[in-house]
Amino acid sequence: MTWTCEQTEARLSDYLDGLLNSEEWSAFNLHVNTCAVCTPLVASVAHTLGGLYSLEQVEPPPHLETGILRATVGYRKFDFWAWLRSLQSPRFIYGAVSVAATFALLLTATGFNWRKPKLADLAPATIYHKADGKVHVFYGRSVKFVSDLRVVIEIQSRLNEGDQNPAMREETIPQSSPKKEPGRTDNTNPSTPKQQNRANDISRRLEVLACEFPILRGSLVDRRFP
């Protein structure tokens, strides 16, 4: 059976689709293997067919179905089960857990009793009053803490100043002497009872501070007993 180039071109799809009988198939192969024109033609069409088969299905956009239904029937029927299935996404679950945790945290902060929950505790007025009370208590404690901290820092800074300036220390800290009599600040004039009380008061405070801050004991003792 003879085979020509025109036959090759006309029956190429039949060959590629396997529709040639055995005699035609043999003649086709014999011709193509010896023809310099038909060999590249068959190879390129076979390659093209491979490319066509490799084309994957393209996913339509998600809104297309909705758009078609809206354009045809004008609405989309609410499907409860489809809606329920859509809630099973990890993103929704994560969001729901976050919202629940935030809600629980806020309720706890307002003083909600989880062991004995009452419906009245969830009333907005109750939540407001409890939150207001909590905020005031927190504010009061904060103010007290800052005030205490300020006193301690002030005392500490004064002590440091005294350490750096001995002259000042001599002036500010009353000196005691075994030769002095109580109530006298120097050897000439007796001190007034008021001055003596102040000196005693400062001495007591230094002793208290020495007890509270052992690290300062040495310097405080030096001041007390120079």
Partner 1 sequence: MEQDAQLVQQCLQGDGSAWEELVRRHTRRIFNICYRFTGNRTEAEDLTQDVFLRVYRTVASYRSAHGGFATWMTSVTRNLLIDHYRRTKRDRVTDSLDDAMPVVENKESVARRPDEQALLGELSGQVQTALTRLSPELREAVILRDLQQLEYLEIQRVLEVPEGTVKSRINRGRIELARILQQMGVRPA
Residues that bind partner 1 (CB under 8 A): 9-14, 16, 41, 43-49, 51-61, 64-65, 67-69, 71-73, 76-77
| Rounded (10°) CA dihedral 189, 193, 195, 197 | 140
| Least distance CB 39 / partner 1 (angstroms) | 11
| Least distance CB 38 / partner 1 (angstroms) | 12
Check if the beta carbon of residue 77 is closer than 8 Å to that of residue 47.
no
| Least distance CB 77 / partner 1 (angstroms) | 6
Cβ proximity to partner 1: between 40 and 133 the closer is 40
| Least distance CB 14 / partner 1 (angstroms) | 8
| Least distance CB 63 / partner 1 (angstroms) | 9
Cβ proximity to partner 1: between 31 and 223 the closer is 31
Cβ proximity to partner 1: between 5 and 105 the closer is 5
Q: Find the angle CA(175)-CA(180)-CA(186) to the nearest 5 degrees.
A: 65
DSSP 165: -
| Least distance CB 58 / partner 1 (angstroms) | 5
CA distances for 107 relative to 100, 122, 177, angstroms:
11, 8, 65
Cβ proximity to partner 1: between 72 and 88 the closer is 72
Residue for token digits 């609410």? 78
| Rounded (10°) CA dihedral 42, 48, 49, 55 | 170
Check if the beta carbon of residue 185 is closer than 8 Å to that of residue 192.
no
Residue for token digits 């929704």? 92
Which residues make beta-bridge pairs with 91? none
Check if the beta carbon of residue 42 is closer than 8 Å to that of residue 8.
yes
Cβ proximity to partner 1: between 45 and 216 the closer is 45
Cβ proximity to partner 1: between 46 and 123 the closer is 46
